[in-house]
Structure 1
Amino acid sequence: MFAKLPFRTGTTSSAIWQGFAGSVMLLLGSLGVGWLASSSVLIRTPLFILARTTPAAVICATVLLCLGALLMFRAWLRLSQHLSGWNDDAGPVLRKALILWVAPMMLTLPLFSRDAYAYIGQGRLMQQDLDPYTNGISALNNYFLLGPDTLWTEAPTPYGPLWLWLEHLAVLIPANSPEIALIPFRLASLAGVVLLAIYVPKLAARHGFNPHRALWLAVLNPVTLMNFIASVHNDSLMMGLVVAGLYYASTKRAVVGILFVTASIAIKPITLIALPFVGLLWAGSRAGWVRKFALWAATLGISMAVMGAMGAVNGLGFGWLAALQTPGTIWHWYAPVGIGSVSLGSLVDWLGGDGTPIADGIQKVAQVISILIVMALAFVKIRLGPSGGLGADLPEPQRYSHAVMRRMAWAFTAVVLLAPMIQPWYVVWLLAFFATTGIKDGWPLRTVFYLSAFFILIALTDQLSVFPWISMEVVRSIAVVVAVMGLLYLTLWDKKTSELFKRNKPDQHAFAVKS
């Protein structure tokens, strides 16, 4: 039972409605710069013609988009101040905020990413009996009309069989608009956020941390909602399923947990990383090496048996294994391995050599290192240590669950940081895992604030849909100016939010306080 701590109910409402207004602004902004397929009937309607072909309207949409995201960020920050006690009364407030902030986003055109249109193309491959693990979307006639990012049109799908079935289902919907085909993906993204809203607090409470604060931190975060709902990413369902599976595994319902995690792998196979840690949860804190290896084998066996059955049904077997490398074919300037490897390769090119093998080699070495780190985190014995540390008043199984989950969070961190490409939604994976194992006030929480601000900036200035005759340089420059100035205001000059970015004495509201 958590202690009752007061919060200012009169001010929570203003924060909730600020976030709702920001979400509505994202919806309105998406009409002008959200992604539309060339074959969409919407693009031929007067409203969309005006919003997307007139430079002034496109600029207005861009400004609306930026201001909406900034307003949501401010509302999220203000909620933490209004609910600083994180008592049980905070739960209904946070759930109300989640509903109101998500609802308008469910109606936006896809923002910040065209992956949702790639899902449609992959569904068409399934519909035409083409193997999506060996064929890119470019194998389809007039594939460009579907609206996918050309960067991925020749790449095989990196998704699992469960997601392929959903993609196939989406293209069977009788409608002449790609936006109608997006509905199953939107519902899947919503389902993922709902699962996170249920199981992130449960896991946090199990580990001795305040569940309401964890819900606010990981699920209501604008970076989460923008990337999972507005961008319609399947990472939402992947994360919801894996967090649910980890909860059941930590509460001694290992087989149920394995099935949930396997379902997550069948969305995106990256969550294979979670399997050895599920095996550790199943084995328990006092297991010897024989029991650990037996249950690791059982965990892998159950999971791969289910995946094999799915592969047998769709006739594609384990084709997804070969496609695991698909996301590693590009790099980002803010990914340390990406910028480091490409810079060194460019230097070799400048000196007259061939820098491509150098860059590729660095990326492969980084990948091997990440695998070794994951193995070390899974195999090195967990020592809970003497009482008096984190969660000292918790039973041993819960302290052990916390230690295993924390290691898993670091395992995913290693994989993300040592990849040449770090997408904004990859950071949401880490946020969810760390929130369930405790993010303290002070510098850890400020780090979350700064990273959230950074990836909001990346989203607002990266992928905007602008017709060729409208200057992308002008639109992006406006987005950069509005986003940067807005974030500087919130972090430096806003009297209400700037204090959150300053060094101060941490409190203990992250922890569950017993009455």
Structure 2
Amino acid sequence: MSEPGSVAGGPVRPVAAGLARYAGLAGAVLLTVAAWLGGALPDAPLRTTLAGLWHASYGPSTLGCWLVGTALLVGAWWSLRWGAPSTRWAYVTAGLWALPLLAAPPMGSRDVYSYVCQGWSWTHGVDPYRVGVAAAGCPWTDTVTPIWRATPAPYGPFFVLLAGLAVLLGGGLVGAIVLLRVIAVAGVLLAALCLPGLARAAGVPTRRAAWLALACPLVGVHLVAGAHNDALGLGLLLFGLLVLVRRPGKPRALVVAGVLLGLAVSVKAVAVVVLPFAALAAVLGRYTLRVLLRDAGWLTAGVLAALLVTSLATGLGLGWVGGLAHSGDSKQWTSPPTAVGFVVDYVGGLFGQEPHAVPVVRLVALALLAVLLVALWWRAWTGLRRLGDVQQRAVRLAAARPRVALLGAGLALAATVLLAPVFHPWYATWPLALLAVATVSLARTVWFVAPCAVASCLTLPDGTNLARFTKAPGALLMTALIVLLLVWAVRVGLARRAR
């Protein structure tokens, strides 16, 4: 493990670190300017072509600021991917980059307007899990992306409650958006408080974990400026996991952790895949089935209590589960299963056929995800049982216990994000945070840092996803990448068997 102030075993040059800090700050300022010139403002029209973006008011200036700002911010983050000079330096720099983005209007997507309208629907006695915001009569429906105007809310009752409170207390569209951003920033701050404890528990340098998880452009652009509810869900998730790794086997702590994890699920359903791995982190002592059931029972009680209370308090029940089915209405090549389905359709078209492969490939991917999640959990369980057979006196082994559970949770989130029917850039912040605190190997960080760097470049300030304009080449490129990765995985597997 590298010492503080070093990167990959060598010292961090102050000039290089300072250059990265202020290059990233300049990038954040340029992105803020781009957002004011052509961001996801309430009256901004939805552009359907790149030419339309270019010929819009301030179009060249908007795209220029976005291009240069994104390059500076992503480049600065990437340049210190092995770790910042210190944990404090990482926090100060990430905060410095977030400051101008706090002053930006909604950027990178228009989801925050959906949140407001769903909150408005609930406060006016309309079930957002049954009726879309247009049918509900939300006065700000025109600000919502057209594809989501008729779809039910896919978010949990806890977040709908918060969105409703933001509408009531905000007094209008702008006030509600400001309050939702306050909630998002609170989620980011909560995650920032939990990262050092999780990283230390897993034996990972805190300066690297904090830099990767907080300075990533996806956090500033989408969680802070975009006010995505992923920020709150992620903060609650990390807080719950921190309670587990600090006080495993303690019934009260397990219930508290369960409540926090249940609230995370009640914000966004993706958090549910972490629960089986959280049960592993809850165990104190030897990993036996009896101990697992005992400690996981307390954790489950907390999760169910949180879900039950939020469902009853809002009067919404579990109707939000049905809304999840509409998340796949958007079809973009950034989702690997969707990209493969596109390519199958293209090939079928060459032979005069219409396979309509996207739904089929998506269904196969979900089945594969279920198998993969079980395999990841079993691998973590068997690994922890082997550790339990060894005396836990060494610090290295003590750190291995939470690391195995956290790494399994991070890989489960990564698999869920990659195999889901739809992928949006901010989804990557979930696995990024957990893999940042659980990945010891410097070389392996590239596997999740590089995709996050690419994902940071996929959206324009007004929320336009560049995948819309690159459907065929993007699908072909994504499919080719999947094939190459599968070939590489098979070759590595065969080589290991031959040893």
Task: Specify which of 243, 246, 253 is matched with residue 248 of structure 1.
Answer: 243
Per-residue CA deviations over 1:309-340 (Å, capped at 9, x if unaligned) read 21111111122222232322333213221111
Q: Does 1:217 align with 2:212?
A: yes
Distance 1:65 1:254 in 2: 45
Per-residue CA deviations over 1:390-445 (Å, capped at 9, x if unaligned) read x9942644312111111122222221221222211122211111111115323x34
Unaligned runs of 5+ residues in structure 2 are: 6-10, 46-52, 471-499
Distance 2:18 2:190 in 1: 25
Distance 1:55 1:437, change over 3 A: same
Task: Specify which of 169, 192, 201 is matched with residue 187 of structure 2.
Answer: 192
1:198 Cα offset (Å): 1.6
Q: Does 1:326 align with 2:326?
A: yes
Q: Give the counterpart letter for 1:195 in structure 2.
A: L
Per-residue CA deviations over 1:91-113 (Å, capped at 9, x if unaligned) read 33222212211111112111111
Q: Which residue of 1 aligns with 2:162?
A: 166
Distance 1:392 1:105, change over 3 A: farther
Task: Specify which of 93, 102, 107 is matched with residue 106 of structure 1.
Answer: 102
1:156 Cα offset (Å): 1.0
Stretch moving more, 109-118 or 19-28: 19-28
Residue 456 of structure 2 aligns to a residue in which SS?
A: helix
Task: Specify which of 11, 22, 29 is matched with residue 24 of structure 1.
Answer: 29
Could you tell me whether the CA contact under 8 Å between 2:98 and 2:220 is conserved in 1?
A: yes
Stretch moving more, 30-39 or 224-233: 30-39
Could you tell me whether the CA contact under 8 Å between 2:104 and 2:225 is conserved in 1?
A: yes
Could you tell me whether the CA contact under 8 Å between 1:382 and 1:403 is conserved in 2?
A: no
Q: Does 1:33 align with 2:38?
A: yes
Stretch moving more, 414-423 or 454-463: 454-463
Distance 1:10 1:118, change over 3 A: same
Stretch moving more, 358-367 or 430-439: 358-367
Could you tell me whether the CA contact under 8 Å between 2:78 and 2:453 is conserved in 1?
A: no
Distance 1:55 1:422, change over 3 A: closer
Residue 374 of structure 2 aligns to a residue in which SS?
A: helix
Q: Which residue of 2 aligns with 1:438?
A: 439
Distance 1:375 1:11, change over 3 A: closer
Distance 2:99 2:225 in 1: 10
Distance 1:174 1:379, change over 3 A: closer
Unaligned runs of 5+ residues in structure 1 are: 41-51, 466-471, 478-515
Q: Give the counterpart letter for 2:99 in structure 1.
A: A
Could you tell me whether the CA contact under 8 Å between 1:308 and 1:318 is conserved in 2?
A: no
Q: Does 1:181 align with 2:176?
A: yes
Distance 2:12 2:132 in 1: 53
Distance 2:301 2:146 in 1: 38
Q: Which residue of 2 aligns with 1:147?
A: 143
Distance 1:136 1:317 in 2: 17
Q: Which residue of 2 aligns with 1:76?
A: 77
Q: Which residue of 2 aligns with 1:281?
A: 281
Could you tell me whether the CA contact under 8 Å between 1:204 and 1:438 is conserved in 2?
A: no
Q: Give the counterpart letter for 2:149 in structure 1.
A: T
Q: Give the counterpart letter for 1:302 in structure 2.
A: G
Distance 1:370 1:39, change over 3 A: closer
Q: Give the counterpart letter for 1:156 in structure 2.
A: P
5 Å-filtered alignment, 1:229-248, equals 229-248=224-243
Q: Which residue of 1 aligns with 2:290?
A: 290
Distance 1:322 1:219, change over 3 A: same
Residue 414 of structure 2 aligns to a residue in which SS?
A: helix
Could you tell me whether the CA contact under 8 Å between 1:335 and 1:421 is conserved in 2?
A: yes
- With structure 2 as the length reference, what TM-score do the two structures score? 0.81
Residue 203 of structure 1 aligns to a residue in which SS?
A: helix
Q: Which residue of 1 aligns with 2:8?
A: none
Q: Does 1:423 align with 2:409?
A: no
1:151 Cα offset (Å): 1.2
Per-residue CA deviations over 1:191-239 (Å, capped at 9, x if unaligned) read 1211222212221111111001110011111122222112211101111
Give me the identity figure in percent: 25
Distance 2:39 2:144 in 1: 13
Q: Which residue of 1 aligns with 2:114?
A: 118
Could you tell me whether the CA contact under 8 Å between 2:120 and 2:138 is conserved in 1?
A: no
Aligned residues: 448
Q: Give the counterpart letter for 2:71 in structure 1.
A: L
Distance 2:216 2:111 in 1: 21
Stretch moving more, 338-347 or 153-162: 338-347
Q: Which residue of 2 aligns with 1:407?
A: 408
Could you tell me whether the CA contact under 8 Å between 1:32 and 1:62 is conserved in 2?
A: no
Q: Give the counterpart letter for 1:38 in structure 2.
A: D
Distance 2:69 2:63 in 1: 10
Q: Which residue of 2 aligns with 1:303?
A: 303
Distance 1:56 1:306 in 2: 47
Stretch moving more, 369-378 or 136-145: 136-145
- Alignment RMSD (CA, Å): 3.2
Q: Does 1:201 align with 2:196?
A: yes
Distance 1:74 1:156, change over 3 A: same
Could you tell me whether the CA contact under 8 Å between 1:277 and 1:405 is conserved in 2?
A: yes
